[in-house]
Amino acid sequence: MSPKTALARLVEDDGAPVGSRVRALRQLEHPPLILLRRLLVDTAKRTIPVPSRLKAIATLKFATEVQLRKHRKAAKIEPRRKNNGANALGI
């Protein structure tokens, strides 16, 4: 099991102490969006509510990850537009 997987499982474990879950979430450099979404969305299946500290950090991480992915996507698209069929002379 990779460390990233172990940390993700600890974050989702409802029986783990809140402090450990918060530390594990902070240690994940780029947590999966689905993990963060599961923490943020209240579903009928969830019997134990997510602690507010964990929910706050998950919200910040979610916003950061979404912005990072938007910037990465824009960076991939931008170089393609610059050389859109033009040769070295610009003709």
Number of C-beta neighbours around residue 26 at 10 A: 13
pTM for this prediction: 0.78
Residues contacting residue 38 through CB under 8 Å, at least 6 positions apart: 12
CA atoms of 57 and 36, how far apart (whole Å): 9
Q: For residues 48, 50, 52 and 56, what is the CA-based torsion angle, rounded to 10 degrees?
A: -170
Sequence ranges of the domains in the chain: 3-80
| Tens-level pLDDT at each residue, the chain (91 residues) | 999 999 999 999 999 999 999 999 999 999 999 999 999 998 888 889 999 999 999 999 999 999 999 988 888 776 666 656 666 666 6
Q: Which of 35, 33, 38 has its CA nearest to residue 67?
A: 33
